[in-house]
Amino acid sequence: MRKILVSTLGLFVLLSCATAQSVGKKTEAKGSAASKSQVSKKANKKIKDYDKVITKDAVTDDGLFKVHVIGEKYYFEIPMKHLNRDMLLVSRFAKLPSNLGGGYVNAGTKTNTRMINWERFKDKILIKEITSSAVATDSLPINISVKSNNYEPTLYAFDIAAFSKDSSAVVIDVTNFYGSDVKAISGLGSRLRSAYKVKNLDKSRSFINTVKSFPENIEVKQDFTYNAAKPPVNTGDETISVQMNQSMILLPKTPMQPRLFDKRVGWFTLSQYDYSSEALKSDRKTYLRRWRLVPKDIDAYKRGELVEPVKPIVYYLDPATPVKFRSYMKEGIELWQKAFEAAGFKNAIIAKDPPTKAEDPDFSPEDIRYSVVRYVASTTRNATGPSVSDPRSGEIIESDIIWYHNHLRSYRNRYLLETGAANPSARTLNTPEQDIGEMMKMVIAHEVGHTLGLPHNMSASYAYDVENYRDGDFTQQYGIAATIMDYARYNYIAQPGDENIRFVRQLGPYDAYAINYGYRYIDSAKTAQDEKEILEGWILEKAENPIYKFSGRGNYDPTAQTEDIGNNSIKASTYGLKNLKIVAKNLPKWTSDQTDNYEDLEELYGELLSVWSRYIGHVVTHIGGVVEDTKNPSQEGAVYNPVAREDQKAALRWLQNNAFKTPIWLIDKSILQNINYAGYTDRIRGLQARHLNNLLSFERLGRIIDHNAIDTKNYAALDFLRDLRRGIWSEANSGTNVSIYRRNLQRVYLEAMFQLMTEDLDKNRSRQYFNVNQSDIRALVRGELNSVKELLISASKSSINTETKYHYLDAVERINVILDPK
């Protein structure tokens, strides 16, 4: 049956094949009615004869619509057959001032994506936004309510200027729509307008640059200048100038058949609410975002032969890409060809150099017909992989990978810090080009994975045993994670003397598995529901193998962490710190001794502290940790399992020795006294405070309490707090003096306990999932503080130095204030 699409901003939805066919019929009917509108045309004096509007001076570009330019006026001649057809309107920056919106806004950044219809209402043409989030079969009574409660907004209304001579098209003046400050397609949203105190669009300095019509899309470039009191680049002229590109693309009449999402396989998705469902509620359906790949030879495909798709995925390089990097980028894109072979396709994804003017005079990275790896001149250190998809079916229409120029510096630095101990080629600021190229190739491959529909899979590195990372044969074959979509960048486990080690990530077996799940062509299935049994079989076939497990980022799951590798965080971090100590000792030799300045030493020392902090953080997650194993009821075992008590206790012992016992090796005078004049002790305090505060969070304590309540074999909150207290205040137990670093840490502990006792959580209820005031937390903290107080009173009378004695007495007074603020 035909489905009626209705609007609720922010969600996407499926439109069935029958919808597109029926829409086509509606379009023809409207076109037929319009062709008989001669009486209306004569009666309305605003509607002129075609020749009076589109004069002999018009410069015409024919494509999806005819575009006519007459002086400074721009007209669309819209075929009646395209009225009520679904289209995408995509707005993006073509040019912009530096620092607009922060580090992640650049040329090529999308600012708006909307599905629209061009509709006729009396003697006007309307642009209606169709954000398809709710559907109902048109024959059912509930369809009336769905339409009434999801009314589409009108973005703009145009007077009909003329009809074509054969009445098969309608002419409208779009000059004001593209030439004025229409919020729906503006690059400056409310946040930016507020931040830069934008007053208004200066029409005297704003204009339509170009309008080009192609067979399935129209591309418009606008130059806009705004008066703004606080522009991002303040040169005194209170001006923001941007160039916007507006793409309008005709969506297919027949949407691609969608594929059902299953949370056991990671995928970017879109959702709809189906009010026609027999379920006793609006039925939420979720589908994959993916490219439409259809085999050229379906019979050969069925026989198991590798077949090229009818339309491959093609990426072009940005003309701004440095020539020396182009081969690496293209290799990174085409690495995915191997994964697509698992889905039965060959040459499914292709990388191309930017075409010359002679080859394609209309080529533009902003043109929605082209997927482009954008090379951005920016100090931002990152890369991203956004895409544009059909909101009816999830079909990816186009994507732009963003590569920021400075990103390689981050990879060079981490290569040196994380692998330098075991990897001689990393012990330099001038990383060999071959190594840089390999890193770039894998970063591009990671971002391509996003544009193919794959999100991060943070459990993929947990599939490999820690000792595998010291095995050259293993790392060369399997890399450092089961997928390139994990945040597993380098092999920081391999030790000096290990041979033939691969240090850089690569595609893995999960990538082929996920691509097969999303892209294998299932000719026998005529609906998404028809595929469900086949998809379930693929998942169950791999369900017990950790290589094929998916888990997004979970701050509570030690098996799904960012930036970690291996199946044992404690062991992996031990190896990592062992290597980092070697790097720290050699850091001046590898940096300032070579450059004769301290800039790189300062930068790398700061990043070395961040690496240390990451290794520590991976172990913190074990305490109060929960392992998530997504599964259906037909599969054995629970979805959420607390980390075993002994593993949590082992993690805390490791933290006491490696995080809270002062890391003296990080305090190197030959580094510190050459990069800063002060702040040495507080830098260490800040590093330790981050992890101690993380341990003493309401969320973590709440999980520990819950886990012990359902099974007393699990770690108890009282035991955890006692174990922590004994380590943090170990000097008081042994009667030894306390160093400045440990005194700072102990004050951090008191501050954290103060927060647990007094923080008003009513102001931010989203931070916890239990009633803190009526839980055990306040009582446990009060008891621990009293224990610390008794210990310090006794310890202050022992043979200790004056600083330690004063510190203990001060700590007692701080505890008194916490326990009795009056």
Q: What is the pLDDT of residues 226-267, one digit of tens each?
A: 999 999 887 778 999 999 999 999 999 999 999 999 999 999
Among 589, 600, 586, 594, which Cα is nearest to 675's?
A: 600
**What per-residue string of b and e applies to 75-101 under the rule 16 or more CB within 10 Å gives b?**
bbbbbbebbbbbbbbbbbbbebeeebb
Q: Is it the case that residue 181 has pLDDT exceeding 80?
A: yes
Q: Which range among 27-31, 482-486, 554-558 has the greatest average pLDDT?
A: 482-486
pLDDT of residue 135: 54
**One domain, residues 212 and 85:** yes
Residue at 608 is within a domain: no
Structure tokens at 502: 């691969």
Q: Which of 548, 567, 590 is the last residue of a domain?
A: 590
Structure tokens at 349: 């994804």
pTM to 2 decimal places: 0.89
Mean pLDDT check: name the lowest of 149-153, 502-506, 550-554: 149-153
Q: Mean pLDDT across the stretch 352-380?
A: 88
Q: Which of 250, 277, 295 is the last residue of a domain?
A: 250
Domain residues for the domain of 474 are: 313-590
Mean pLDDT check: name the lowest of 30-34, 152-156, 536-540, 780-784: 30-34
Residue at 606 is within a domain: no
Give 11-54 pLDDT, tens digit per residue: 333 333 333 333 333 333 344 444 444 444 444 668 999 999 99
pLDDT of residue 149: 63
Q: Is it the case that residue 129 has pLDDT exceeding 70?
A: yes
Instruction: Please indicate whether residue 500 or residue 763 has the higher confidence score (pLDDT).
Output: 500
pLDDT of residue 774: 85
**pLDDT band at residue 104, thresholds of 50, 70 and 90?**
confident
**pLDDT band at residue 75, thresholds of 50, 70 and 90?**
very high
Q: Residue 288: enclosing H or E segment and its boundaries?
A: strand 283-288
Q: Is it the case that residue 313 has pLDDT exceeding 70?
A: yes
**One domain, residues 35 and 142:** yes
**One domain, residues 529 and 648:** no
Percent of the chain with pLDDT over 90: 77
Pairing between β-strand 207-213 and β-strand 217-228 as defined by DSSP bridges: antiparallel
The DSSP call for residue 203 is G
Among 449, 630, 435, 469, which Cα is nearest to 565's?
A: 469
Q: Mean pLDDT across the stretch 502-523?
A: 97
Euclidean distance between CA atoms 786 and 42, whole angstroms: 92
Residue at 804 is within a domain: yes
Contact present, 76 and 62 (Cβ < 8 Å): no
pLDDT of residue 219: 95
Among 506, 492, 486, which Cα is nearest to 438's?
A: 506
**One domain, residues 171 and 84:** yes
| Single-letter code of the amino acid located at 72 | E
**One domain, residues 576 and 699:** no
pLDDT of residue 136: 52
**What per-residue string of b and e applies to 161-194 under the rule 16 or more CB within 10 Å gives b?**
bbbbeebebbbbbbbebbbeebeebbbbeeebbe
Structure tokens at 186: 């503006």
pLDDT of residue 107: 83
**What per-residue string of b and e applies to 6-34 under the rule 16 or more CB within 10 Å gives b?**
bbbeebbbbbbbebbebbeeebeebbeeb
Handedness of CA 569, 572, 576, 577 (dihedral sign): positive
**pLDDT band at residue 279, thresholds of 50, 70 and 90?**
low
- With H, G, I as helix, E, B as strand and everything else as coil, classify residue 282: coil
Residue at 344 is within a domain: yes
SS (H, E, C) 645-696: HHHHHHHHHHHHHHHHCCCHHHCCHHHHHHHCCCCHHHHHHHHHHHHHHHHC
Virtual CA dihedral for 516, 518, 519, 521, nearest 10 degrees? Answer: 90
| Single-letter code of the amino acid located at 707 | H
**One domain, residues 101 and 207:** yes
Q: Whole-number mean pLDDT of the chain? A: 89
Structure tokens at 783: 């008891």
Residue at 269 is within a domain: no
Give 414-429 pLDDT, tens digit per residue: 999 999 999 999 999 9
In which residue are the tokens 């009513």 written?
A: 762
Distance between the two ends of the chain, CA-based, in angstroms? Answer: 72
**One domain, residues 469 and 326:** yes
Long-range contacts of 103-108 (CB under 8 A, 24+ apart): 103/378, 103/379, 103/380, 103/382, 103/404, 104/380, 104/382, 104/384, 106/374, 106/376, 106/378, 106/380, 106/402, 106/404, 107/365, 107/374, 107/376, 108/365, 108/366, 108/372, 108/374, 108/376, 108/400, 108/402
Q: Is it the case that residue 442 has pLDDT exceeding 80?
A: yes
**One domain, residues 388 and 477:** yes
**One domain, residues 28 and 89:** yes
Residues in the chain, how many? 822
What residues have CB less than 8 Å from 234, skipping those under 6 apart? none
**pLDDT band at residue 141, thresholds of 50, 70 and 90?**
low
What residues have CB less than 8 Å from 161, skipping those under 6 apart? 46, 47, 48, 53, 75, 171, 172, 173
**One domain, residues 665 and 795:** yes
- With H, G, I as helix, E, B as strand and everything else as coil, classify residue 191: helix
Percent of the chain with pLDDT over 70: 90
Instruction: Please indicate whether residue 301 or residue 407 has the higher confidence score (pLDDT).
Output: 301
Q: Which of 223, 250, 277 is the last residue of a domain?
A: 250
pLDDT of residue 538: 97
Our count of domains for the chain comes to: 3
What are the DSSP E strand ranges found in 339-386? 349-352, 371-376, 383-384
Structure tokens at 670: 């030959």
Residue at 611 is within a domain: no
CA 25, 29, 33: angle at the middle one, nearest 5? 170
Q: Which residues pair with 315 in a beta bridge?
A: 351, 371
Residue at 628 is within a domain: no
Euclidean distance between CA atoms 717 and 778, whole angstroms: 12
Contact present, 128 and 155 (Cβ < 8 Å): yes
The radius of gyration of the chain's CA atoms, rounded to the nearest angstrom, is 31
pLDDT of residue 233: 82
Contact present, 559 and 459 (Cβ < 8 Å): yes
Pairing between β-strand 198-201 and β-strand 73-79 as defined by DSSP bridges: unpaired
Mean pLDDT check: name the lowest of 101-105, 481-485, 531-535, 607-611: 101-105
Pairing between β-strand 313-317 and β-strand 349-352 as defined by DSSP bridges: parallel
**pLDDT band at residue 280, thresholds of 50, 70 and 90?**
low
Residue at 295 is within a domain: no
**One domain, residues 400 and 488:** yes
Euclidean distance between CA atoms 552 and 264, whole angstroms: 10
Q: Is it the case that residue 563 has pLDDT exceeding 60?
A: yes
What residues have CB less than 8 Å from 543, skipping those under 6 apart? 264, 631, 635
**pLDDT band at residue 2, thresholds of 50, 70 and 90?**
very low
**One domain, residues 233 and 359:** no
The DSSP call for residue 495 is -
Give 745-759 pLDDT, tens digit per residue: 999 999 999 999 988
